[in-house]
């Protein structure tokens, strides 16, 4: 352990200094050890377990856990339920991103433009509230909005001469409903991050553009959009990753597991928990978790790759 | 600048304000209607167009919710879980963040980098093995079991580390050392007071993270009295799926206090979230 003491960049090695370095080192160790221990226990270990279990066939009820290699993964890609789940989840994640990015960017631009408005605080709060409200009550509000018979959405459509839609019963519409709910929730986050971005943009460039006769819309498209690209990238990846973890929204809006009316929209986390705790196939569920992990790593990798590419230019 | 262009830009701003106002109201409308529905009689709930202010407000739905579900118990469970998780995360993050910012030992830095790399891994990925760890401890259906998943937060350590680097000068710590102050004294009396802002932001973030979490409690908690408010509501809604007034009352009872808390703590919250976007 004491070999760790050698690493300091400090060249002054008087006796007294050595003692105080030693003291400092022990303080650092004692202060950080509990956190490191907890990290190892509740994060590193279960992550490693997920990877390990994905290679085993572990039926919760049986005692033996045979090693099956990549068999779980091979089976997953022939499992209709899993494929259904991954398609729905990807549709929700990319759909929510496609809604969130442009809407939150425009909203942030307008809110930033009206920073001096008397209502600026209200705008920020109102946009952000959907992001902090607990998922379950929020999803329940939207379940009512989408309700086929009593929901305001259908009544509004009918009032304007349209045709009522079976929002939560149709396989495509129910996914769209979840996309809307997820977007409504992530919008506030996107606006907030974009607002920080707008505040950090160089004012002089905009002033110059204005003097050259560019109007607000032009400077938005030709300056803000390209200048904010790193932020767009960041918000996209965050939205995608949280989209791939969608669960509560689907659980409330579109699950008939407890006999509630409505169609089940199978998502990745739901399928994983079902395999683990209802079908008792833990190894199989762990393989699904590994696939979720790979998706997240790929998305993050793409983000870093694109950022580095930009940096090189 | 001419008078006409001035009035034109003022008119444009007024238009933008109106537009933003309408959008904000629309975004909040589902929640407002949900709260309103909680106060309505079953008849009024069916009225079209829906009323924001109930004509004949009633508390009956709320009374029924509180008599038919252990709602207070669920709120208590959520509250204690969120507070304990907040305390644990603030303590671990502040200590660890300070150490990785100011103590340059390569052992610590290597481990820290390793842990920071796990920050992007979603909880759902390692939730199942963690469940078996909790089960082995016999901690299912308990606050302690819930807490095991929410004791540390990589982003919290990162946030404190960045703030220590930005706001705690080395000279200050050195001076205190020369005066003979102990390391822990320095941390508690010099570093922590300088970090009030970020600690507040982290507290609010950690509290709301635990308060709104769903997947983990639904796996760990199966006994009705151990439910958090989210899990309780989710089960309640599948049991009473047709009783809209009752469901709305239950949601409103949970939502209104947390939204009020958020509005009060908005500054800290926004600071914390905004910092999360600046990871580069």
Listed residue (B42, B30, B148) closest to B88, CA to CA: B148
Exposure string for A175-210, b = 16+ CB within 10 A, e = fewer: bbbbbbbbbbbbbbbbbbbbbbbbeeeeeeebeebe
pLDDT band with cut points at 50, 70 and 90 for residue B41:
confident
Once rounded to an integer, what is the mean pLDDT over residues A208-219?
85
pLDDT confidence of residue A5: 43
| Closest chain B C-alpha to A290 CA, distance in angstroms | 7
CB B219, CB A121: distance < 8 Å: no
Q: Vertex A185, ends A181 and A186: CA angle to 5°?
A: 120
pLDDT confidence of residue A256: 54
* B residues 11-30 lying closer than 8 A (beta carbon) to A: 13, 16-17, 19-21, 23-25, 27-28, 30
CB A124, CB A189: distance < 8 Å: no
Give the list of residues 6+ apart from residue A190 with CB closer than 8 angstroms, or none.
Answer: A100, A101, A103, A104, A105, A108, A235, A239
Once rounded to an integer, what is the mean pLDDT over residues A17-24?
78
- Asked whether the predicted pLDDT for residue A3 surpasses 50, the reply is no
Once rounded to an integer, what is the mean pLDDT over residues B201-211?
91
CB B186, CB B176: distance < 8 Å: yes
| Closest chain B C-alpha to A192 CA, distance in angstroms | 7
State the architecture of B68-276 in CATH terms: Orthogonal Bundle (1.10)
| Closest chain B C-alpha to A125 CA, distance in angstroms | 7
* Separation of alpha carbons B208 and B206, rounded Å: 6
**CATH for A71-312?**
1.10.3720.10
Once rounded to an integer, what is the mean pLDDT over residues A125-153?
88
Is B120 within 8 Å of chain A by CB? yes
Interchain CB distance below 8 Å, B230 and A196 = no
Residue A79, helix vs strand vs coil: coil
More confident residue, A1 or B127: B127
More confident residue, A306 or A38: A38
Question: Does a cis peptide bond (omega within 30 degrees of 0) precede residue B49?
Answer: yes
pLDDT confidence of residue A258: 45
What are the chain B neighbours of A106 within 8 Å (beta carbons)? none
Interchain CB distance below 8 Å, A277 and B219 = yes
pLDDT confidence of residue A18: 73
H or E element at residue A160 = none
- Rounded to the nearest angstrom, the gap between the alpha carbon of residue A123 and the centroid of all alpha carbons in its chain is 23
* Separation of alpha carbons A25 and A19, rounded Å: 10
Phi then psi for B56, rounded to 5 degrees? -130, 70
Which tokens go with A131?
């992001």
Q: Vertex A31, ends A25 and A35: CA angle to 5°?
A: 125
For the stretch A219-254, pLDDT in tens is 888 888 998 988 899 899 989 999 999 999 998 887
User: Which residue, chain included where needed, has tokens 């829906």?
Assistant: B50
CB B92, CB A34: distance < 8 Å: yes
DSSP B165-204: HHH--HHHHHHHHHTT--HHHHIIIIIHHHTHHHHHHHHH
Interchain CB distance below 8 Å, A35 and B95 = yes
* Separation of alpha carbons A252 and B231, rounded Å: 11
The pLDDT mean for chain B works out to 88
Which tokens go with A48?
């490693």
pLDDT band with cut points at 50, 70 and 90 for residue B242:
low
Residue A56, helix vs strand vs coil: strand
Report the percent of chain A where pLDDT is more than 90.
Answer: 46
Residue B224 per-residue DSSP state = G
Mutate to test the interface with B, among A21, A27, A46 (most CBs of B within 10 A): A46
Interchain CB distance below 8 Å, A132 and B258 = yes
Residue A8 per-residue DSSP state = -
**Domain coordinates of chain A in residue numbers?**
2-53, 71-312
Burial of A221 (0-12, 13-18, 19+ CB in 10 A): exposed
Residue B135 per-residue DSSP state = H
* Separation of alpha carbons A276 and A30, rounded Å: 38
CB A275, CB A53: distance < 8 Å: no
User: Which residue, chain included where needed, has tokens 């499992």?
Assistant: A79
Listed residue (B156, B165, B161, B162) closest to B93, CA to CA: B156
Radius of gyration of chain B (CA): 24
CB B276, CB B209: distance < 8 Å: no
Mutate to test the interface with A, among B5, B10, B19, B20 (most CBs of A within 10 A): B20
């Amino acid at each position: 352990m004491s070999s760790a003491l050698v690493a300091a960049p400090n060249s002054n090695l008087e006796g007294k200094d050595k003692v105080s370095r030693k003291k400092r080192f022990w303080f650092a160790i004692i202060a950080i050890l509990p956190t490191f221990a907890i990290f190892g226990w509740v994060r590193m270990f279960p992550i490693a377990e997920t990877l390990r279990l994905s290679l085993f066939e572990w039926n919760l009820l049986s005692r033996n856990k045979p090693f099956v290699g990549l068999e779980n993964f091979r089976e997953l890609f022939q499992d209709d339920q899993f494929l259904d789940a991954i398609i729905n989840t990807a549709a929700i994640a990319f759909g929510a991103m496609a809604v969130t990015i442009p809407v939150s960017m425009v909203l942030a631009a307008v809110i930033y433009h009206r920073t001096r408005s008397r209502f600026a605080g209200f705008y920020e709060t109102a946009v952000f509230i959907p992001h902090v409200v607990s998922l379950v009550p929020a999803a329940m509000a939207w379940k009512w909005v989408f309700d086929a018979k009593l929901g305001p959405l259908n009544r509004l459509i009918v009032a304007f001469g349209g045709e009522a839609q079976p929002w939560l019963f149709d396989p495509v519409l129910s996914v769209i409903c979840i996309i809307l709910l997820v977007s409504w929730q992530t919008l506030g986050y996107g606006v907030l991050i974009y607002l920080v971005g707008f505040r950090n943009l160089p004012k002089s460039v905009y002033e110059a553009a204005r003097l050259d006769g560019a109007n607000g819309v032009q400077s938005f498209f030709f300056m803000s959009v390209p200048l904010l690209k790193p932020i767009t990238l960041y918000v996209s990846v965050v939205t995608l990753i949280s989209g791939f973890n969608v669960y509560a929204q689907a659980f409330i809006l579109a699950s008939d597991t407890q006999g509630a009316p409505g169609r089940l929209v199978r998502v990745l986390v739901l399928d994983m928990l079902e395999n683990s705790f209802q079908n008792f196939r833990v190894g199989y569920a762990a393989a699904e978790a590994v696939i979720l992990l790979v998706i997240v790593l790929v998305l993050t990798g793409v983000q870093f790759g694109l950022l580095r590419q930009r940096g090189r230019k | 600048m001419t008078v006409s262009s001035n009035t034109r830009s003022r008119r444009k701003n007024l238009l933008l304000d109106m537009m933003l106002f309408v959008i904000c109201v629309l975004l909040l409308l589902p929640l407002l209607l949900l709260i309103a529905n909680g106060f309505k009689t079953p008849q009024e709930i069916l009225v079209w167009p829906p009323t924001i202010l109930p004509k004949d407000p009633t508390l009956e739905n709320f009374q029924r919710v509180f008599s038919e579900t252990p709602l207070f118990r669920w709120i208590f469970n959520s509250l204690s879980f969120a507070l304990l998780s907040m305390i644990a995360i603030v303590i671990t993050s502040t200590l660890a963040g300070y150490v990785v910012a100011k103590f340059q030992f390569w052992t610590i830095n290597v481990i820290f980098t390793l842990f920071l790399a796990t920050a992007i891994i979603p909880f759902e990925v390692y939730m199942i093995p963690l469940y078996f760890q909790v089960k082995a401890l016999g901690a299912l259906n308990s606050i302690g079991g819930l807490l095991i998943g929410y004791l540390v937060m990589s982003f919290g350590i990162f946030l404190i580390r960045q703030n220590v680097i930005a706001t705690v000068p080395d000279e200050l710590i050195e001076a205190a050392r020369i005066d003979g102050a102990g390391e822990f004294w320095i941390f508690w009396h010099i570093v922590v007071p300088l970090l009030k802002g970020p600690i507040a932001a982290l507290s609010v973030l950690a509290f709301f993270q635990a308060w709104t979490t769903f997947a983990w409690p639904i796996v760990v908690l199966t006994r009705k009295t151990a439910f958090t408010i989210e899990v309780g509501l989710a089960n309640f809604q599948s049991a009473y799926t047709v009783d809209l007034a009752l469901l709305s009352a239950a949601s409103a009872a949970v939502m209104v206090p947390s939204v009020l808390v958020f509005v009060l703590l908005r500054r800290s919250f926004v600071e914390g979230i905004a910092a999360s976007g600046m990871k580069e």
